[in-house]
Amino acid sequence: MASTAPDVFGKHKENTMHWDQGTVYDISWSSDGSQLTAAGSTGPVRTWRLERGGHKEGDAHSGLPSSIERIAWSPPVNPSLLAAAAYEKTVCVWDQRLSSTTMRFATKGVNSDVEWHPRGTYVLVASRDEGMEVFDTAQPNRPVVSASIDGASLNSARWNADGTLLLLATHAGSVEIYAWPAMTHITTIPAHASSCNCIASDPHYIATGGADSVQLYSTRDFSLLTVIGGFESPVVFAEFSACGKFVACASDDEHLVIHNTKGRVVHKEKMHGLTTALEWHPRNLAFAVASAAGKSSKPSVSIFL
Q: What is the pLDDT of residues 137-168, one digit of tens each?
A: 999 999 999 998 877 789 999 999 999 999 99
pLDDT of 74 strictly over 90: yes
Burial 10-41 (b: 16+ CB within 10 A, else e): eebeebebebebebbbbbbbbbebbbbbbbbe
Mean pLDDT of 97-114: 93
Each residue's pLDDT tens digit, 40-64: 999 899 999 987 554 666 888 878 8
* Residues present in the chain in total: 305
How many CB atoms are located within 10 Å of the residue 305 CB? 16
Name which of 294, 249, 241 is nearest 271 in CA terms: 294
pLDDT of the residue at 246: 98
pLDDT at 233: 94
Which ranges of 15-125 would DSSP assign to H, the alpha helix?
none
Q: Average the pLDDT over 259-279 and give the result.
A: 96
End-to-end CA distance of the chain: 25
- CA–CA separation, 122 vs 134, rounded Å? 7
Q: 237 pairs with which residues across the strands?
A: 250
Q: What percent of the chain has pLDDT over 70?
A: 96
Q: Are 46 and 61 in contact (CB under 8 A)?
A: yes
Query: 184-242, pLDDT tens digit by residue?
Result: 999 999 999 999 999 999 999 999 999 989 999 999 999 999 999 999 999 999 999 99
What pLDDT band is residue 6 in, cutting at 50, 70 and 90?
Answer: confident
CA distance to 84, 199, 230, 300, per residue, from 72 (Å): 7, 16, 30, 19
Average pLDDT in the chain: 93
